[in-house]
Chain A
Amino acid sequence: MFELLEDAGFARVRSAVVPGFRFKKKATQNSAEAFGVKAVMLTATKPAAV
């Protein structure tokens, strides 16, 4: 998503992992970890008009 935001024209794209996110069911959490699934917070800005 980070790259997609930059490709769309967004500037100052920032990301951070959401602390505490996890799936409720152990099996789902295990599968998520195997795929490197995590929750992130993303912020970005549409550049001001020149």
Chain B
Amino acid sequence: MNSAESQAGLEAVLKDEILRMYQEVADNPEADFHFHHGREAAELFGYDPTWLDEAPAGAVASFAGVGNPLERADLKPGETVLDLGSGAGLDAILAARRVGPSGRVIGVDLNPAMCLKAQAHAAATGVGMECHEGRMEEIPLPDDSVDCVLSNGVINLSFRKRRVMEEMYRVLRPGGRISITDIVSARQLSQSIVNDPRLWAS
């Protein structure tokens, strides 16, 4: 097996592990995870408690971000926003409130079940949100179609981060922007971590 085949195999395993882990957060938000999640995490990262009170309980409980990408997004009414790795939809719903009915919020998530859940949460809140199943390495949107890309704790999960950056650039309109929060490591992770999908996905 050459290195490309090896990486493709590892990516496939990783995809399954990511789906499993974040589905578990969505299905069993009361379970014990090694990362903060739900309302506890959102408040830790400075989400306005009033926003959280107004958001669907399921979207708040399943929140698994690592920061607050809305804080510096400066969203304006009428803008088109992409939430890359939208999960249960909390950031997308909060973004939809900011861009208003003249705006558009598009989620992209690896897990089609999460897309359905996010759209249901958005509908329950009375805001519009569409969600597409897809990978961040091949964003299912046309060139120059988005004003702002949000993402919260998912790009670190990709083996092909350079490709993800290129895709965000491609879908943004000239003058568009990103506001993302994510995990970075100052040191190269050991090969044992890189080769272990459970550790990588976490």
* B23 contacts the other chain (CB 8 A): no
Most chain B Cβ neighbours within 10 Å, of A21, A23, A38, A40: A21
- Is the beta-carbon distance between B178 and A10 smaller than 8 angstroms? yes
Most chain A Cβ neighbours within 10 Å, of B67, B161, B185, B189: B67
* B4 contacts the other chain (CB 8 A): no
Residues of B51-86 whose CB lies within 8 A of A: 66-69, 71-72
- Is the beta-carbon distance between A4 and B173 smaller than 8 angstroms? no
Interface size of B as a range: 35 or more
1/0 per position for A21-37, CB-CB distance to B under 8 A? 11111001000000111
Given contacts A24-B35, A46-B173, contact A18 B45 (CB under 8 A): yes
- Is the beta-carbon distance between A10 and B155 smaller than 8 angstroms? no
Residues of B147-192 whose CB lies within 8 A of A: 153, 155, 161-162, 165-166, 168-169, 172-187, 189
What is the distance, in angstroms, from A39's C-beta to the closest C-beta of chain B? 4
- Is the beta-carbon distance between B185 and A36 smaller than 8 angstroms? yes
Report the nearest A residue to B168, measured CB to CB.
A8
Q: How far is A42 from B161 in the complex, measured between Cα atoms in Å?
A: 14
- Is the beta-carbon distance between A21 and B67 smaller than 8 angstroms? yes
- Is the beta-carbon distance between B165 and A10 smaller than 8 angstroms? yes
- Is the beta-carbon distance between A8 and B166 smaller than 8 angstroms? yes
What is the distance, in angstroms, from A21's C-beta to the closest C-beta of chain B? 6
B33, B34, B69, B173: the one contacting A41 at CB < 8 Å is: B69
- Is the beta-carbon distance between B66 and A18 smaller than 8 angstroms? yes
* B44 contacts the other chain (CB 8 A): yes
- Is the beta-carbon distance between A43 and B177 smaller than 8 angstroms? yes
> Contacts of A25 on B, CB cut-off 8 Å?
34
* B36 contacts the other chain (CB 8 A): yes
> Contacts of B35 on A, CB cut-off 8 Å?
23-24, 28
- Is the beta-carbon distance between B182 and A40 smaller than 8 angstroms? yes
> Contacts of A22 on B, CB cut-off 8 Å?
36
- Is the beta-carbon distance between B178 and A39 smaller than 8 angstroms? no
Q: How far is A10 from B165 in the complex, measured between Cα atoms in Å?
A: 9
- Is the beta-carbon distance between A9 and B169 smaller than 8 angstroms? yes
Residues of B within 8 A of A (CB): 32-36, 44-46, 66-69, 71-72, 153, 155, 161-162, 165-166, 168-169, 172-187, 189, 202
Told that A23-B35, A40-B67 touch, could you supply 5 new A-B pairs with CB distance under 8 A? A9-B169, A25-B34, A37-B186, A46-B175, A47-B175
